[in-house]
Structure 1
Amino acid sequence: MTEPAHPHSDPELERLVAARTADLTEMLGYLAACWDDEKRLLARQLHDSLGSSMTALTMHLALLSQHIPAENKAMRDRSAQMKQLLATIIETNRKMQLDLWNDKLEFLGLRAALAELVPEFAARQGLAARASLPDEDGHYSRTQGVVLLRCAEEGLRNAATHGKASEVDVILDDDGEQLMLTVRDNGEGPRDCAAAMSASDCHGLRLLRERARHLGGELVLLRGEDGGAVLRMTLPREAPAASASSLG
């Protein structure tokens, strides 16, 4: 005896919904990749144009300062103030470049980018953050590297702002078949992880989840055994053909 079909089951509707969902996931992946490329280009322009100009100004000011008479204290004080202002602008420009795009990811790999990101975040937020990384960097596509790095950034931000954590661990695993990035904290973990992942104001997590799906992987948010949150992204070692050429 066959079981009756579900009264609301409609194979054609389910097929259309699945196809539409796949289209939206692919579009979100493409838009996110374009967004990353724009940020990468802007960071490069800040480095090549504004950064080099500020460095040249610093050199010119140093040369001019050498010709200020020692007895002219007012001019020497003004020169010192200008040097300090230029140094502040240069440092601000450097931080803006890093927020937009981590050059270490592109030139040295994901391992180097995470090794820099985690301690800098810890120092800035005043918490303990540790990175557990493979001994050697694997051969990831740039898209995979960008998405995994974005996952680490999002997990660190959530741990500090929402979880109010004092300790965070960032762990990167590569077993040859899949890549796994885990951010684990000791803060106030979400009571309902599914609701937290689907909340309308959690755009960062929702976009990350779609980017993981676009690459054939997944993003999950769990509550740790001792409380806190566990954000884990898993990606297949070989990205799907549709997304392998994406620039991320």
Structure 2
Amino acid sequence: MAQSLTGLLLGSGIQRQRELNDQLQIKLNENRELAKALVVSEEHTRHDVARELHDEVGQTVTVIRTQASIIKRLTTQQPVLTSAEMIETAALRVYDGVHDVLAKLWPAALNNLPLSAAIAALMRELIPQDQSVLGVLNWQVNDHPMDETLKITLYRICQEGVTNAYRHGAASRIEINARQDNQQIYLTISDNGKGIDLASITPGYGLRGIQSRVSAFGGNVSLSVDNGTCLNVTLPTVSLSTKGN
């Protein structure tokens, strides 16, 4: 009798533990889907802001330059000519500054290029083309079809990883390797530098930002600092919501 009661209680406890584990997994998936939705919302906002800045500031700068050019044609007074040239130069600086901000807000390359080509363009942009630093890209990930949020997440990770390697790693070689199987994407960003001092990296759109984005997809991030820095990221190729269907 006692053994039967013990077995019954044990079975009930195991069943309860399974139910709690299932509930915990459901909540974990819900939290990840919420985090992913926040990433999607953030990227949409950044895209909208970038488009508005491009349209509004671009048009305004064009008007300013046009007016400065008209003034230069209509006057022979040197002080006025000098002022018009200064206005034109300032307008160009504003445009260049906004262009840099736009590139950070939304990578225009993703609008019309495959992800691999966009990453290659990113490396050319971030790494000096004077042969002081060699950039190597080995991209074996098919982005057709690919979740758009996953695509921008991979781009942001590469953007942050290469930036950190160049600014903080004192490397002469920065390498991106990406491959995939039926379930996972494996991304590695490595360099041969001195190794990043983790305390020197500003939080935000740094490693913490990468961790948040990867966690939203149910992926993993690891960072090793030994004979350079190596950032390893694993991301599922199928979204959590799709798995749940």
Deviations along 1:45-99, one digit per CA (max 9) or x if unpaired, are 0011111221232123223311222xx2222222211111111001001111111
- Say whether the 8 Å CA contact 2:214–2:220 is kept in structure 1: yes
Q: Which amino acid aligns with 2:67?
A: H
Residues in 1 aligned to 2:206 and 2:25: alpha-carbon distance in whole angstroms: 23
Instruction: Report the secondary structure of 1:66's partner residue.
Output: helix
How much does 1:16 deviate? 4.6
**What is residue 154 of structure 1 aligned with on the other side?**
160
Q: Which amino acid aligns with 1:220?
A: S
How much does 1:28 deviate? 1.7
Q: Which amino acid aligns with 1:24?
A: N
How much does 1:143 deviate? 0.9
Deviations along 1:6-26, one digit per CA (max 9) or x if unpaired, are xxx982554454444333222
TM-score (norm 1): 0.74
Matched, 1:56 2:58: no
Residues in 1 aligned to 2:237 and 2:162: alpha-carbon distance in whole angstroms: 24
Cα-Cα RMSD: 3.6
Residues in 2 aligned to 1:86 and 1:202: alpha-carbon distance in whole angstroms: 31
Structure 1 residues 213 and 207, CA, compared in 2 at 3 Å: closer, same or farther?
same
**What is residue 130 of structure 1 aligned with on the other side?**
136
**What is residue 209 of structure 1 aligned with on the other side?**
211
Which protein has the larger Cα radius of gyration, Structure 1 or Structure 2? Answer: 2
Q: Which amino acid aligns with 1:184?
A: S
**What is residue 32 of structure 1 aligned with on the other side?**
39
How much does 1:232 deviate? 2.6
**What is residue 49 of structure 2 aligned with on the other side?**
42
Residue in structure 1 matching 2:147, options 141, 147, 157: 141
Deviations along 1:144-187, one digit per CA (max 9) or x if unpaired, are 11010111022123323443434311233356764333211112
Residues in 1 aligned to 2:143 and 2:40: alpha-carbon distance in whole angstroms: 22
Unaligned runs of 5+ in 2: 1-9
From the two aligned structures, give the one with the greater helix fraction.
2
Q: Which amino acid aligns with 1:42?
A: V
Residues in 2 aligned to 1:154 and 1:93: alpha-carbon distance in whole angstroms: 20
- Say whether the 8 Å CA contact 2:219–2:234 is kept in structure 1: yes
Instruction: Report the secondary structure of 1:140's partner residue.
Output: coil
Instruction: Report the secondary structure of 1:123's partner residue.
Output: coil
- Say whether the 8 Å CA contact 1:185–1:228 is kept in structure 2: yes
- Say whether the 8 Å CA contact 2:189–2:230 is kept in structure 1: yes
Give the fraction of aligned pairs with identical amino acids, expressed as a percent.
Answer: 24
Structure 1 residues 51 and 176, CA, compared in 2 at 3 Å: closer, same or farther?
farther
Residues in 2 aligned to 1:221 and 1:242: alpha-carbon distance in whole angstroms: 29
**What is residue 192 of structure 2 aligned with on the other side?**
186
Structure 1 residues 15 and 177, CA, compared in 2 at 3 Å: closer, same or farther?
closer
- Say whether the 8 Å CA contact 2:47–2:105 is kept in structure 1: yes
Unaligned runs of 5+ in 1: 244-248
Instruction: Report the secondary structure of 2:186's partner residue.
Output: strand
Q: Which amino acid aligns with 2:155?
A: L
Residues in 1 aligned to 2:235 and 2:146: alpha-carbon distance in whole angstroms: 11
Structure 1 residues 176 and 24, CA, compared in 2 at 3 Å: closer, same or farther?
closer
**What is residue 235 of structure 2 aligned with on the other side?**
235
Instruction: Report the secondary structure of 1:168's partner residue.
Output: strand
Q: How many residues align?
A: 227
Structure 1 residues 61 and 242, CA, compared in 2 at 3 Å: closer, same or farther?
farther
- Say whether the 8 Å CA contact 1:134–1:173 is kept in structure 2: yes
Q: Which amino acid aligns with 1:221?
A: L
**What is residue 223 of structure 2 aligned with on the other side?**
221
Q: Which amino acid aligns with 1:118?
A: M
Q: Which amino acid aligns with 2:29?
A: A
